[in-house]
Amino acid sequence: MVYLLLILSLAQALRKYPLTQLEDSNEVNGKGKISEAQGLFSIQLKVGNPPQNITAVICMSQQKEIVIPVINGKNENNFTFFNISNSSTYSVINSKGTFKGKSAVIANETIAFDDIKVEGQKFFIVDINDSPNQQNATLPLYFDINGDSTSFLNSIFSNQSIDDYSFTIDLYEETLLIGEIFNPNDANDPIVYVDIDPLTWTTYLEMIEVNFTIIANYTLEENQKTPLDAAKVNFAIEYPYITGPEKEIDEILSLIKHDKNCNDNICACDEVFTGYFNFTITFNNQTISVEPHSYLALDNGNCTILITKGTQWTFGLPFFREFLGYFNFKNNTAVFFRHPHNEGIIRSLIIIICSMALAILFMGFIFMCTRYLVLKKNEQRENENRYNRYYG
């Protein structure tokens, strides 16, 4: 019994909470490592034929897109550029096209992410600093329900083997997942569901609070049907801050800095961020909190507050440090929940300690019962011996 309890507790301690894996399934999905360098997040793609392993950058601050560095001709610096001249599947659609107001070459190419492979994917090649030899090829990530083939997501989701129209960012596991099904039972924390615009990946806030003080309240009035523009929020993993309108951000910073020794946005703090408050966000009557360890950058007893003024609400790296983001384009929703791995470690330790305590108590109970029976038996024998001495 004791061993069974310990085994069960160990199994619980080692349990992880990944997105659901579909075993023995013909469905296709993509899974790759997200790498961070100098504030940029990149993934590995195979581009062209023969496939070239290329480090491509995920950009979410404005338009959602994947950017592939391109070179035409000799790669003297041996960087991981996609070399057009070495691919047999590269073809130009329009050499005088435009992209975001700039001259661009519109071309087709074969692109693969893990098991997902798209042939004839359209992308837009723009010169870098007016250099015709070094360029960027952009893969738009917006999703058009009408099936616009210029988007990489549209091309991916047109594959009938992909059942889930999803794009998942998990910075705790440093993983990007495309087309993998999310199971709510895998989440160990209350889940927040929000509606998103599939073209911009934006949604609307309802409320912002710090230390039980309401900073912004965008709750719709009874006769109001359209959210305020000020309530719109963008998600961008490569952006190092949480940003928002000047007035609201000033109030947030004032509350965070209260009674603390600060110089601009750098304040004294300890390793457990004593005295700092959660940054609480409400979407559609669902509340989640960004904890201090995510919006503060600790360095030798000082913390930089990663909250700053901007033109709109943007939840960047501090938000994605705290929450896994699952964007589903079949029903145009996003799902956010706190990375369960941190909670899992703490909870597992608690389970182990409690299980060991129960095991010790159980062993103590067995010991006491056994001792009681032995003493009772000895007492019975002693009484029998005493009886035999006097009456035998």
> Considering only the top CATH level, what class is 187-338?
mainly beta
d(CA 129, CA 142): 26
Closest CA to 289 of 208, 357, 213: 208
> Considering only the top CATH level, what class is 30-161?
mainly beta
* pLDDT for 11: 32
Indicate the Cα dihedral angle 170, 176, 179, 185, nearest 10°.
-20
End-to-end CA distance of the chain: 46
Whether the CB-CB separation of 109 and 48 falls below 8 Å is answered with yes
* pLDDT for 19: 35
* pLDDT for 193: 93
User: What's phi and psi for 137, nearest 5 deg?
Assistant: -105, 125
Provide the whole-model pTM. Answer: 0.76
* pLDDT for 376: 72
Encoded tokens for 355: 């299980």
* pLDDT for 12: 34
Q: Where are the domains of the chain?
A: 30-161, 187-338
Whether the CB-CB separation of 118 and 111 falls below 8 Å is answered with yes
Q: What is the pLDDT along the chain (392 residues), one digit of tens a residue?
A: 433 333 333 233 333 333 333 233 345 678 899 998 877 899 999 999 999 999 999 998 878 899 999 877 665 555 578 999 899 999 999 999 998 888 899 999 999 999 899 999 999 998 866 555 678 899 988 887 776 567 898 888 887 678 789 999 998 889 999 988 877 777 767 789 999 998 899 999 999 999 889 999 998 776 676 678 889 999 999 899 999 999 999 999 999 999 999 999 999 999 999 999 998 999 988 999 999 999 999 999 999 999 999 989 999 999 998 899 999 998 899 999 887 655 444 444 555 676 777 778 878 778 787 877 777 777 777 766 665 666 55
- Please enumerate in sequence order all residues whose Cβ is within 8 A of that of 155, keeping only pairs 6 or more positions apart, or say none: 118, 121, 122, 149
> Is 30-161's fold the same as 187-338's?
yes
Q: Where does the chain have alpha helices with state H?
A: 2-14, 152-157, 246-257, 292-295, 317-322, 340-391
